[in-house]
Structure 1
């Protein structure tokens, strides 16, 4: 039987293996009754519960819901991409393979980030592997007066590699790559780049359900570059705003609503101070970006009605890159599901799945939403399940 043909409960039991339900419950910080109900497919599992189970089982939520198979059964193309990326990250960190003629990698690095933000994870992974190799080679050959800049470029390449690995569920590789990115960013002497790396590490923690570590690291990312009242640099303001809003997202996942609201207010104030969307490393920060994150935070903190109200007032999302637009639609779909608008929810989800199938295949929420709303309309549910590779049981 294929992995996605099992029920969610069966997959949890298979992943649990010889570990008892009591041991899994203790490791996940859940009650034994919750684990037992999950394995018996009784009731819907919330995202926080799925995150805790995934962390305790050493896997991804997408594996539990059947959207991705365990690594040994993942798609061949993804496996090839990960193998090449892993080899490059570890070899360059050890100084292997950097004794060749350096090349200009600026265009490839931009293309890699563009592919990632467009949701083309496989393509981004291919660029990341070549860019890490090229950036390490360039660093080994660079003049002393350009050395700090070269460290910065290699930090950006490692960070891209970490993000791709994180999307593909290769958590060990994501941690390794973001660690190398931190080292290079520190040597590059750029506080803004260091803040971006810290935010990236927080995101890896978040996907790994290490919520305390995610919150702590997110705090580092924005406090380290907090602007003064007289600071007028739009890039620095936008970078700070983006990181403080991401920290609000992490706090919301922790269930710390007060902190999330406070941080979101800070981000809103920065966006108002800018008065427009500002591009930072290919990502826009401004009123639309803050509202999009506010919608996700409202969903995370159990306020789906507020999320939908915010969504109705968000008319122009053209400044958001494609992956951010996709994520926004998933948050809206989840809010629709939480307000029992199951048919509308499936319409929203199906649109994202059909228009961006590669991106949704690497996300957790589509499988969660599809399972919770799956019984509403069988034909649409089947289409969604086929695209994301999950069952709805």
Structure 2
């Protein structure tokens, strides 16, 4: 039986297009030329921007086009078990099922959520889900039992738990669960009356829209999220600055995905200015922001807007990256590898890619970029041995015939 990974990228595009959509219709929906669509379906290459536009027009994630996940994601046994528990936790707690129990001590709840966020930031999404499912039940029980004067604080903690549950679901392509989780997070953030948490939830929803190829909604939601928390001139509160900086930088990422280079650069300049005011990276509500973080994002924006040389120049200036979470650093290095492939440094690109995938294989198999980079590198002078090693790590063929 032919597996989804057995098809070439061009064949997958054609299969996803199906008999009811012509190449001309796909070209119109994606804003690309018919010649570009034909070239892509013949597996004759294509830039990341092209694949992103095609995947958006096909209403799917780019990792499906690249074969790193099937149209309905096939998961490992541990993934499926975790996702079932996470789904039960999200839906049960929202319905009030199983929350009439003795809540944990505050320190225990805090430790459980901290472990979940730490696993997520390290790129261990299965571990994050395994931690957040019980923490979500505990947070719901805590909110249910909270006295009136503590309800807002308990609702804020519950909002954080739902938001992380949505993030994990989104990483596994479980869009319905991601939307449910982020919706419950918004409800609890509203109960908490916390503007910062509401903005974090809005940014999370925008990211889900991005992964669901709903770029117009992603752009609008991202704009709402950063405008709602714009700091006053002279504001020196690091938490407020970091939250705003992250949100305006994420809006730049969304604009870049939309192909709005000027808009992305303008928003990014605001993020860079905030980071300069801060002087260092800080962590707020599970998200880091500062000079290193915004530069890492700038590298990704430069690559996705067709400026690989600028991306590599930015990488040379980033300096100390110890403040980046493991997943943020890994993502940055994938962007660097893609920039190297785009500038015809095929073997160097594969070396960078192999280093990332060897260090974090579990994280890498949830990403779409390794397939893009491998395709670019295989069109150049990359060695077959490196491509075979990469295929072994990712568990899917990346060798282009």
Shorter-chain TM-score bucket reads over 0.9
Instruction: Establish whether residue 383 from structure 1 lines up as the match of residue 384 from structure 2.
Output: no
Shift of 1:281: 2.6
Partner of 1:85: 86
The C-alpha deviation readout for 1:69-93, integer Å capped at 9, x for no partner, is 3436332222222222122212221
Deviation at 1:204, TM superposition (A): 0.9
**In 2: Cα distance, 1:382 partner to 1:158 partner:** 39
Alignment equivalent of 1:195, drawn from 175, 189, 199: 199
Secondary structure, aligned partner of 1:182 = helix
Q: Kindly indicate whether the alpha-carbon contact (under 8 Å) linking 1:115 and 1:121 is maintained by their aligned counterparts in 2.
A: yes
Matched, 1:360 2:364: yes
Contact in 2 for aligned 1:283/1:321 (Cα 8 Å): no
* Counterpart pick for 2:40 among 38, 41, 60: 38
**1:25–1:95 Cα change, 3 Å:** farther
TM-score, structure 1 as length reference: 0.94
Higher relative contact order (CA 8 A, sep 6+): 1
Residues 199 and 218, structure 1, Cα contact 8 Å, conserved in 2: yes
Give, in whole Å, the separation in 2 of the partners of 1:248 and 1:378: 37
Task: Report the number of matched residues.
Answer: 392
Aligned partner of 2:285 among 257, 281, 287? 281
TM-score (norm 2): 0.92
After superposition, residues 157-236 of structure 1 pair within 5 angstroms as 157-236=161-240
Mapped to 2, the partners of 1:45 and 1:135 lie a distance apart of 46
Q: Secondary structure at the match of 1:347?
A: helix
**Are 1:53 and 2:54 counterparts?**
yes
Aligned to 1:294: 298
Other structure's SS at 2:271 match:
helix
Larger deviation, residues 319-328 vs 363-372: 363-372
Q: Which runs of 5+ in 1 are unaligned?
A: none
1: distance between equivalents of 2:385 and 2:70?
24
Asked if structure 1 preserves the Cα contact closer than 8 Å seen for 2:61 and 2:213, the reply is: no
Mean alpha-carbon deviation: is it higher for 59-68 or for 303-312? 59-68
SS at match of 1:284: strand
> Secondary structure, in 3 states, of the residue corresponding to 1:180?
helix
Structure 2 residue runs without a partner (length 5+): none
- 1:61 positional shift: 1.8
CA distance in 1, matches of 2:189, 2:50: 35
Aligned mates of 1:119, 1:72 — CA distance in 2: 18
Report if aligned partners of 2:239, 2:282 keep a CA contact under 8 Å in 1: yes
